[in-house]
Structure formats: C-alpha cells, structure tokens
A and B are shown apart, each in its own frame.
Chain A
Amino acid sequence: MDTDTRFEPSSSALVTSTSSRLGQFLLGSRDTLPLIIGAIPFGLLFGALGVAAGLSLWQTLGMSLLVFAGAAQFIAVGLIGAGAGIGVIIFTTLIVNLRHALYSASLQPVVKHLPLRWRVFLAFGLTDECYAVMLRRLDRGPLCDNGRWFFAGTVVTMFSSWQLCTLIGALFGQAMPDLNRWGLEFALVASFIGIVVPMLKRYPQWAAAAAAGVVAVWARTLPYNLGLLLATAVGITVGLLLDKPAEEAAA
C-alpha cells in the first residue's frame, strides 16, 4: 500500500467528481439502463428458449457468459433446434457478428492508448447496446482521462443484466411456453429506433438508413443473415456517394 497518496486531492475527487473513475463508471452504468429495458425480454426469452432447445441450464448460462452476443445466441438456439452442425453454427455466428469488427474500428480511437488487458476486457463487452451507448456518449463530446471507466461501466452493467435475465429465463421459461406470442421482439425494434433516429442528423445519413432498410427487406430471406451484410454495404455506399459532393464543396 502506498500510504503517501492518501491525502492527495484525487482521493476525495474519487467520491465527488463525475470525472473520477467511480463517477465515470456510474455515468456509463446510468446511460446503459434504458438499453437494458429493451434487452430484458431478450435475456428472459433466450434463457427460456435455450433450455427448450436442449441446452442444459449451465450451457444456456455459459453461452451468455462466454459469447455475450444476443442476436448470435438466438440464431444458435434456432439452429440447434433445426439440427444444424457445430461448424455451421460457429460460421453463422461469425457472419452475424462481423458488424462488431466495424464497431471495433469505430471505437478504436477511444481505446488505442489503453493497456492490452483493458482492450481485451472492453472488446469482450462490445455488444450492440454498449456500442450504442458509447456512440451517444461520444456524440456529446470527447471522453475525459478516466473515460475507460465509463466504457467499463457500460460493459459491466450490460453484462450483469444479461446474465441475470438469462438465469431467470432459463429457470422459469419452461413454465411459460407461450413467451414468443407476447411479441417481445418488438422491444428490440423500439429500442433500436430510439438509438438510430437521433443519429440521423444529415440527409446522407437518412438516405443510408433508408437504402439499408429497403435492401434488408428485399434480401431478408437470404441464408446466413447475408441480407443484413448486403443491406449494410449498400447503406454505406449510398452514404459515401451522397457525402462526397459536400466534401468537395468544402475543399
């Protein structure tokens, strides 16, 4: 223990300032709470469906603990039910989660100065929800020196609630066999709308979203979620094409 530092101002700042480690952690945690409301039904549903598909309680929990990727977990459970092989399920997980490489690239400037253990930890928790929270946060301005703790607060909060919901869903799911009929997938639609619409600030962004949406509907029956990747590629292309004239005008 380094007792020489105990009376330094930073010690008291830990309790009082929002720029302290704890303050940042709690802010990240707070900003994640609205996203959890959208994720709760999915955690419950995944737990219930996992057990129903033939996973043990520990395997259902284990998937949430180790994979921690809602969409991929649902698809895996569906594929297990359909009798797909392990290789197909792992490959599908890769395809479905390729978007996370793009999140990784997008947030790299925020984490590139951090030690390896921090980058490993934050990468493990880079879910759709945590990415959305980080985007909203960065939209308000750059992170402070303890910004990594904001990111950590987001990850830990999302991770804990996902585990808890999986456990509850797995324990009680079999007693509620009609969970699917509640239209719980609408929670995902509503929470993603709440995330994406405030990001649509300029005309090229609206155009990118519209193009991606139309292509996704048109290509929704393609296997392995290829429709999602195709739609994303078209959205990016449309955005870049419309973005370019503005850049040339400015130059």
Chain B
Amino acid sequence: MNDALWLMILGMALVTFATRFSLFAMPGVQFSPRLQRGLAYVPVSVFAAIIVPMAVAPSDEVQLSVTNAHLMGALAAGLLAARTGNLLLTLIAGFAVFGGLKWWLGV
C-alpha cells in the first residue's frame, strides 16, 4: 500500500509536468492565429468555470438566494475587483460579506 501510494504520487507528478511542459518543450511550434485568439479566451473561461459553480451551488444544489454566503461574498468580491482591480481589497470585501453573512445566519 505504501509503495502503491508513492507510485500514485509519481504518476500524478509525471502527468502534471507533462501538461505544463508540453508547449515549453516545443519552442519551434507555431500556433495558427485562430488558435492564438482562442487561447486568449482560455483563462477567463477556466476561471469562470471553477468560480461560478462554487459560488452558485456551494453545496451541490443551485442556491440563487441572498442567504447563499458564497454567492453574496463572490458578488462583493466581483464588485471590488471590477471597481479597483486590487486583489487584496477584493479578498477583504469577499471575506467580510461571506463571513458576516455566515455569522448573521448562524451557520
């Protein structure tokens, strides 16, 4: 079992490195302009795909409600991020609303 877990860790390390090194390994490979334009939409799409379900459905059920602390905290963070672009202020605003609402609701 011990060796199996180390094998698993090494396997995970290899596939993770492979994905990250893939295009760094081929410095001569050029992308088509279309692919380049598509890549520009990768980060916003990936991050939105991670964030939105966590905020909208924090306990696996969709909860579009003011009592959803994750959603309200995310909206506060989004507002500050759009207004200031400051990461620290965004975190503080998000946590203030998230924590405050959790405390107020007693959950």
Question: A residues bordering B, Cβ < 8 Å?
Answer: 34-35, 37-38, 55-56, 59, 62-63, 66-69, 72-73, 76, 80, 86, 89-90, 93-94, 97-108, 111-113, 119-120, 122-124, 126, 131-132, 135, 183, 185-200, 204-205, 208-217, 220-221, 227-228, 231-232, 234-236, 238-240, 243, 247
Contact = CB atoms under 8 A, between A and B. Distances in A.
B6 interface: yes
B77 A189 contact: yes
B101 to A, nearest CB: 10
B20 A126 contact: yes
Contacts of B88: 34, 37
Q: Which of B16, B60, B69, B88 has the most CB of A within 10 A?
A: B16
A217 B56 contact: yes
A127 B55 CA distance: 22
A108 B24 contact: yes
Interface of B: 2, 4-13, 15-25, 27-29, 31, 34-35, 37-58, 60, 62, 69-70, 73-74, 77-78, 81-82, 85-88, 90-91, 94-95, 98, 102
Given A68-B16, A220-B53, A190 B39 contact: no
A37 B95 CA distance: 12
B91 A185 contact: no
23 contacts: A63-B12, A66-B9, A67-B12, A73-B12, A80-B5, A86-B7, A99-B19, A102-B39, A103-B43, A104-B21, A106-B43, A119-B24, A186-B69, A197-B90, A205-B44, A211-B45, A212-B52, A220-B53, A221-B60, A227-B53, A232-B46, A232-B49, A243-B41
